[in-house]
Amino acid sequence: MKQEQWIDRLRTEWDREQRTRCIDVYPSVGGLFRDAHREWLNLSSNDYLNLARHPDVIAASEAALHAYGAGATASRLVTGTLPPHEQLEHALAEHKGYPTAVLFGSGYMTNAGTIPALVGRGDAVFADRLVHASIIDAVTLSRARLYRFHHNEADHLDTLLKKHNGGGRRLVVTESVFSMDGDLAPLREIAEIAEQRNAMILIDEAHATGVFGPNGKGRIAELGLQEQINISMGTLSKGLAGYGGFAACSDRVRALLINRARTLIFTTALPPAVAGSALGALAVVEKEPGLGETLLRRADHFRNRLREAGLDTMRSESQIIPIRVGDNAAALSLSRRLRAEGILAVPIRPPTVPQGRARLRLSLTLAHTEEDLVRAADAIVTCARKEGRL
Ligand SMILES: *Cc1c(COP(=O)(O)O)cnc(C)c1O
């Protein structure tokens, strides 16, 4: 249709910059799967603990499905809150070491609802430059002013907090494990500065949940910072292999969210089977304490192998390992070459990462054995050589 022609011009531009996106269909989830032709090593899955197909997780989901039906059929505040939702909120609060937790439809919706409930026009948010898009969108929705501090630089945060103290409420936001760089925020310093400067603080633990800390409780629990950090948000869709998001917080913040968070109030509650699967995943994580440690140890070995060969894995210290490439075409080309070897390593390009910082973002899962990872690292090094990256 004629009124849509502007989209073609946009696409031409994207094509020229090699950043047109498309959707591929995969035969299965998880770090390792087969299709009709071959076995694939998927280094682009967030199923960190290999729980998406875990029999206990599937059984817990099925039990909730059969007990309560396909959908919650109403919002949380109407008649959509069922026993699995309540149990899950209790389990998440206990897991994270907070008095309570509020369940949302996804991690994105958690940020999009929580941040605008805490701050509004005339207030200010201080966020790390590399925070996830859901946080940026949340700040836009809130109408608060956004100040971005240099990545992981607590001193710069302090400077900004000192400078911008115009009287409104102030909120500091960062991620405990960064989604695209795989590096760790200096949480203790950041929490201390927020406290000194009398600002609230929300930490996004999307990639730490299930992986870092005792029994995968996250980095806030690992460092014992629950008293200093107002809100620990997380997702059920990565380490916990399902779907949904949550904010672990005080009873006071819970009351605020229930009354104000629009992504909780104006949307249907999670399907019971989805809450059930998260309960199943949490039970596995509680029962098997060493899962995250094993994953992080394997990630160390894998990363060292890449680094020794001369690849730039940036400041990764987690199961997320970027390989810095630079320009979009080179990232695409390396990814294609690896695909031919049965390795899925999706290129990440702007606007997901800053201009000129295109990379392959690898994420390891417990589906990958030590041998798989040695093979993958060697294949990556060989392909990078053929591409002239080494
Ligand atoms: C994935 C992610 C989210 C969003 O979580 P979903 O449950 O997938 O919506 C939020 N924050 C960060 C840092 C993430 O990586």
Q: Is residue 53 classed as helix, strand or coil in its secondary structure?
A: coil
Domain boundary among 257, 287, 317: 287
Tell whether 309 and 366 lie within a shared domain.
Answer: yes
Confidence of residue 388 (pLDDT cuts 50, 70, 90): confident
Query: Domain with 36 in it: what CATH number?
Result: 3.90.1150.10
CB of 104 closer than 6 A to ligand 1? Answer: no
The verdict on residue 205 lying in a domain is yes
Task: Quote the pTM value.
Answer: 0.96
| C-alpha closest to that of 311 among 292, 330, 339 | 330
Q: How far is the CA of 342 from the centre of ligand 1 (A)?
A: 27
The verdict on residue 313 lying in a domain is yes
Confidence of residue 351 (pLDDT cuts 50, 70, 90): confident
Tell whether 250 and 311 lie within a shared domain.
Answer: no
pLDDT at 182: 98
Tell whether 173 and 221 lie within a shared domain.
Answer: yes
Residue 372 has pLDDT above 90, yes or no: yes
The verdict on residue 319 lying in a domain is yes
Task: Work out the percent of the chain whose per-residue pLDDT is above 70.
Answer: 100
How far apart CA 133 and CA 142 sit, in angstroms, is 14
Give the model confidence (pLDDT) of 17-72 as tens digits.
888 888 989 999 999 999 889 999 999 999 999 999 999 999 999 999 999 999 99
The verdict on residue 6 lying in a domain is no
Burial of 171 (0-12, 13-18, 19+ CB in 10 A): buried
Q: What is the DSSP string of 140-180?
A: HHHT-EEEEEPTT-HHHHHHHHHH---SS-EEEEEESB-TT
CB of 181 closer than 6 A to ligand 1? Answer: no
pLDDT at 378: 96
149-163, 238-252, 340-354: the lowest-pLDDT one: 340-354
Q: Name the domain count of the chain.
A: 2
179 is catalytic: yes
CB of 137 within 8 A of CB of 151? no
Tell whether 130 and 208 lie within a shared domain.
Answer: yes
CB of 248 closer than 6 A to ligand 1? Answer: no
Q: How far is the CA of 107 from the centre of ligand 1 (A)?
A: 5
Residue 134 has pLDDT above 90, yes or no: yes
Domain boundary among 253, 287, 321: 287
Give the model confidence (pLDDT) of 295-329 as tens digits.
999 999 999 999 999 999 999 999 999 999 988 89
Tell me which H or E stretch contains 102.
strand 100-104
Tell whether 143 and 245 lie within a shared domain.
Answer: yes
Residue 382 has pLDDT above 90, yes or no: yes
Tell whether 229 and 171 lie within a shared domain.
Answer: yes
Which range of residues forms the domain containing residue 205? 55-287
Tell whether 123 and 234 lie within a shared domain.
Answer: yes
